[in-house]
Amino acid sequence: MIKQKTKIRTLESGAVRDTDDGKFEYFGFMHPLNDYSFAKYMHEHRKMADGSLRDSDNWWAGFGLNVCIHSLSRHMEDLKLLHAGFFVYEKREGKKAERLVYKNKLKVIPDNFKEITVEECCNAIRFNADAYKLETIKPKLL
């Protein structure tokens, strides 16, 4: 039997640990401002029509690849419009939502309008991409 030599590091405090060679660097892969923005977005979208809050992990159960890809596509189109210099608003009337696109920013935004931002688009795209990805990798892991 061949014994492998383990690399050890000794920290300034005297604590001894193995090296971090080959380990995932989660901290460096994620930025706290992005994570904060995403958590804020997700929390704001927990509120149901009846005023109750759904569990934060509710989406883990899945809602189908088609729902994910359709939603992701809509938000991607909003992002493309914003990137091209347009202003995008969501007009709500009851349960119906409509996207409105303007060349200039509205000076007065009606109460039933919501301005769509780049940040919101990116968070919605991240959510739908994560939901889609989870539905494809979860069966492989179970």
Listed in sequence order, the residues at least 6 apart from 88 whose beta carbon sits closer than 8 Å to its beta carbon are 78, 81, 82, 99, 100, 101, 115, 116
Structural domain boundaries enclosing 121: 23-141
Q: What is the pLDDT of residues 15-64, one digit of tens each?
A: 988 888 888 888 889 999 999 999 999 999 999 888 999 999 999 999 99
- pLDDT (mean) for 96-116: 96
Query: Is 53:41 a contact under the CB 8 Å cutoff?
Result: no
- Domain membership of residue 119 (yes or no) is yes
What mean pLDDT is reported for the chain?
Answer: 92
pLDDT of residue 6: 65
Domain count for the chain, please give it.
1
Query: Is the pTM for the entire model greater than 0.75?
Result: yes
Query: What CA–CA distance (Å, rounded) separates 14 from 11?
Result: 5
